[in-house]
Structure 1
Amino acid sequence: MSKSTVASRMRFTPLALTTVLLSAGLLSLSVTGTLSGFTAAITNSVNSAATGTLVMQEQNAGATVTCTSVDGSGITTNAATCSTVNEFGGTTTMVPGTPVTTTVTIRNTGTLNASTFMLTPGGTCTQTSIATPAGTATDLCTKLTLVVKQDGTQISSGTLTAFAGSAAKNLTTVAAGGTSTFTFTVTLDAAATNAYQGLQASVPMTWTFNS
């Protein structure tokens, strides 16, 4: 190897090494952010979405009997059958011409407002005998009139036969935590004879909230 070659390498090797080290240092600074300016940051640690509930409660006048839409089936089904609240009173002492009034309260115990509230009659009025002996009449459903009011405002009036076959009733909605009071007044025709003794008429109905 010639002396000039060795001298050349001796001249350029330190320069090349310095350049490499400087470049590595700048690259390191750019990666770590040491050379960046002021910063500000916000981290949202709690981001969630949650659903509300729509639950119906029904109580009789003395609040001694309570049914809820989650009874037995839970919130997934949220549709229960209540056989302990009788909107027509269930009395066996009715006489012709004397009205029997029953009061029930519907409460929205969920966290969502009900956007619609419906009362849907079951479609049929059924007559049965509840005494021995019982009268021979077969048209008790047409001899019983029913007046339904929501918070004092009448929403239905007519015979049990007509009520059973009528369309769903659009009711005033109930907000979360709110209540609505209903009265059901049933009257046996004042001209009813002994043929109507010991008989019973019934109509199923369904209350429905929608959010």
Structure 2
Amino acid sequence: MSSLTSPSSSNAGGRRRLSLLALVTGLAGVAIMALTMTSSLAAFTASITNSINTAAAGTVIMQEQNAAGTVTCLSTDGTGNNVTSNTATCSTINKYGGSTTMVPGQTVSTTITIKNTGTASVAGFTLAPGTCTQSGNVTGSATDLCSKLGVVISQTAGGTTTTVSPASSTLASLATGGALTLAAPVAAGTTITYKFDVTLASSAGNTYQGLAASQPLVWTFTA
């Protein structure tokens, strides 16, 4: 005798399988939803936003004044008081005595100040003497006035005074000796005092009368 499965039994089994599948699918969905909610909700965070981050370039500006503070020259004078080239020529402060006419053995002293009026510190500071030239009517062999004018240059920085020119310097030897290294660093707002003692040699005879010497000096800040 063969065994037959009734339609009702077959349908019941199918319904059970469908119910089991629906249950499993439902549970899987709940699990995925739980994981998703856990990952999105269960997190601690912290952050900082820097809203202002800026950079700025400083300035290096040189100021020269006479001892009385009545005459001022700035490195920006040649460019309409801006730092386009920051190089100027000052013809109003004479370091070698100017109109003072010396006799043999006489010394003329001149004091000036150099100040960093910019906002940045200066790492290097030099003074470069140029070529000394003689003018006036030469009598006899008096063509070496630049060698007859001795010079001593001293600086006072931070209360300490030192000599920056080589020993036994003349205007002629300064011109060939290269740039002089001066006090550095020079912080913004710092003032340094310089004194120039110029002496006409005692050996200068009558043939040196009425002669004059001129020498350019170039001060340079390097940041």
Instruction: Look up the match of 2:91.
Output: 83
**Cα distance between partner residues in 1 of 2:202 and 2:138:** 16
Aligned residues: 202
User: TM-score under structure 1 normalisation?
Assistant: 0.78
**Cα distance between partner residues in 2 of 1:153 and 1:47:** 44
The percentage of aligned residue pairs carrying the same residue is: 55
Does the 8 Å contact 1:117/1:210 carry over to 2? yes
Q: CA deviation at 1:149?
A: 0.7
Render the CA deviation track for 1:140-181: whole Å, top value 9, x for unaligned: 111111111111311114111111111111111122111111
Dislocated runs of 4+, deviation >4 Å: 34-37
Q: Does 1:191 align with 2:200?
A: no
Larger radius of gyration: 2
Q: CA deviation at 1:107?
A: 0.6
Q: CA deviation at 1:135?
A: 5.1
Instruction: Specify the SS of the correspondent of 2:105.
Output: coil
Alignment partner of 2:75 out of 69, 74, 77: 69
User: TM-score under structure 2 normalisation?
Assistant: 0.74
Render the CA deviation track for 1:51-97: whole Å, top value 9, x for unaligned: 11111111111111111111122212111111111111212421111
Q: Does 1:48 align with 2:54?
A: yes
Instruction: Look up the match of 1:167.
Output: 178
Does the 8 Å contact 1:58/1:105 carry over to 2? yes
Q: Does 1:147 align with 2:152?
A: yes
Which ranges of structure 1 fall in alignment gaps of 5 or more residues?
1-22
Instruction: Look up the match of 1:107.
Output: 115
- Range that drifts further, 56-65 or 150-159: 150-159
Alignment partner of 2:127 out of 77, 95, 119: 119
